[in-house]
Chains A and B, each alone.
Chain A
């Protein structure tokens, strides 16, 4: 079943130099495992291909039902050097929530995940 992250998670993003961070938080604690299993480092790197120049790192915070992604080279130099509208990476959060993941039907049904429209 196709699941859109916006329907199962919320997020906030910020900056550190030329790196944007995106924290993604499951809307329900039982959905955290889905994030951990399907929102992988490489899937996020693919999602942002063409938008960021560097690597992606992933950290897990099961205590907050959250994942934290670092997107390196995401801010056109970052801070005051950047020419981007989003020089501080404030809206990479919802850009990540556009991602669609593919969860096996049985698991999606068991967890009550909403199907992507």
Chain B
């Protein structure tokens, strides 16, 4: 049985002469997929296309077995879709409950009792049941992000498209969110764009690395990590030949590269190491390394 939920073929998208996506081919099945890539790699563009809010210039996009270019089929996709954009503003004067309730109506939850139950469930799923009646304006950044996430979880969608869902969340909230998304990923396709490689490592079955609009890697997380095996070293000083190098909390330097620095110790690579090596990062800023 074909379980493909997302099928992108030769998808290209250009904004005012800048190519955001170059002939992307991707197929996704239920599970959690992590999208990694530097700023401007095309992650958000790809997610907006999956969320049916952005049309492609070339190529074909089928989501949940439907063609996104057909109006009725697109509406059907939206009925089965949860979308968290990278930046979401909220209408003025809304409480958390009112906003999620409003979104539930837009998602055709017409029955008042069923909608009330579902809105409460979604708010509870992100740990905001106690803040439901608070004005969104009075919530913290992390709480607002969770309100935005709650609306995406409405109706337990078959496809969840989440653009940087963990931004602004504290470690406990991130772990809780991982539980929510891992549970969702058992039956649904969850696509997450993030800069947090540890989230991807902890949560995703599969990782897609985008760079300059092209797919640089597409496979299992462990496969990407394995590619870095034998190329991550701990040494007493930074190696100028390394792709990336930074001082760790122990005072030693983590060096990513083909050759061993003097007196270096080979260590197990992380997903972040593998990602940086894949990109061939030369500067911590470029590679978004947190020293």
Q: Are A and B subunits of one complex? A: no
B interface residues with partner A (beta carbon < 8 Å):
none
